[in-house]
Structure 1
Amino acid sequence: MTAIRMSRPNDGARAVEIWRDAVDATHDFLTREDRVALDAMVCGFLLSAPLWLAVDGNDRPLAFMLIDNGHMEALFVDPAVRGQGIGAALVRHGLALHAGMTTDVNEQNAQAVGFYESMGFQRTGRSALDGQGRPYPLIHLQHGTPGAEGR
């Protein structure tokens, strides 16, 4: 059984482990240099970031999600449990908190783009560079009908 809870200080190392394994499994488009640079940056903040965790019956984190002001900054699932609905459960939890949630996804990560679209996200734009100015285009997504949250 999977439960969702907020992270605690001792969950940081496991979050980093999930991030590394997930990136290695899904982000083969990254250059080695960019992967190393991202690792250093992510390790710096994941250890203390306020994450939503999907945990197993032994309270071991299987996946995490970071939401900031209704924008999903990160969603990473341990590759050993991918395809079991854990990421979808986290997204549904996030949507219960932020109905018009937005996110960005690397264009080269076609599986992730398809996942978000299957969850009801729609494309709202594209950026040629990622958030660090690297040449990894981002697809901007919003759940539901973009622009409808104020109606």
Structure 2
Amino acid sequence: MEQHQATENEYNQLVEIWERSVKQTHDFLDIEDFKTIRKELPTYFPHLDVCVWTEGDKIIGFSGVDGNKLEMLFLDPLHIGKGYGKQVMTNLLKMKDIQLIDVNEQNQSAKAFYHVMGFEEYARSEVDDAGRPYPILHLQRSNKEK
């Protein structure tokens, strides 16, 4: 698996991957909130270290990192459940020393995935960063995993 820094020309593709991924994994998300987040998503990219993860000429997904915090990780649903997420996280842990992740409490598969990857809940917020009614779990890398 290879990765490269996202370019502005790829932003629309990344939003499309986000949209397909969220439709599969975030069934709790209100349609109006989905539309709002979709519109706002490209405005976050310039403020993050966004990597596009590929295999051959296929885009597997993308990640967005701020310091040692993983702000976003989305895989194209065609590639979910095939070990790519673990490969991406393993690379990010080595390259970026990821220590913090926020995850939607209702996203059971993501919670389980990050737990397997060595992250534990240390706090909970009733609402997301925009004040929407989606509880967020704040995760940190377990000491035993370091």
Same fold (TM over 0.5): yes
Question: How many residues are aligned here?
Answer: 146
In 2, Cα distance between equivalents of 1:22 and 1:52? 16
In 2, Cα distance between equivalents of 1:144 and 1:99? 12
- 8 Å contact kept, 1:13–1:47: no
Give the letter for the 1:115 counterpart.
F
Confirm whether residue 65 of structure 1 aligns to residue 63 of structure 2.
Answer: yes
- In structure 2, the partner of 1:38 is 37
In 1, Cα distance between equivalents of 2:108 and 2:118? 16
Q: 1:37 Cα shift?
A: 1.1
- In structure 2, the partner of 1:23 is 22
- 8 Å contact kept, 1:9–1:48: no
| 1:1-151 correspondence runs (5 A) | 2-46=1-45, 50-58=49-57, 60-99=58-97, 101-145=99-143
In 1, Cα distance between equivalents of 2:48 and 2:98? 22
Q: Which runs of 5+ in 1 are unaligned?
A: none
State the SS of the aligned residue for 1:13: helix
| Gap change, CA 1:132 and 1:82, over 3 Å in 2 | same
- Listed one character per residue, the Cα deviations across residues 97-135 of structure 1 (whole Å, up to 9, x for unaligned) are 343520000000011000000111111111111111011
Q: Could you state the TM-score of these two structures normalised by the residue count of structure 2?
A: 0.90
Q: Could you state the TM-score of these two structures normalised by the residue count of structure 1?
A: 0.87
Moved over 6 A (4+): none
State the SS of the aligned residue for 1:51: strand
Q: Which runs of 5+ in 2 are unaligned?
A: none
- 8 Å contact kept, 2:119–2:139: yes
In 2, Cα distance between equivalents of 1:36 and 1:95? 31
Q: 1:9 Cα shift?
A: 3.0
In 2, Cα distance between equivalents of 1:6 and 1:93? 14
- 8 Å contact kept, 1:15–1:47: no
- 8 Å contact kept, 1:122–1:145: no
Q: 1:79 Cα shift?
A: 0.3
Greater per-residue helix proportion: 2
Give the letter for the 1:41 counterpart.
E
Q: 1:49 Cα shift?
A: 5.2
State the SS of the aligned residue for 1:28: coil
Identity rate, percent: 33
RMSD of equivalent CA atoms = 2.1
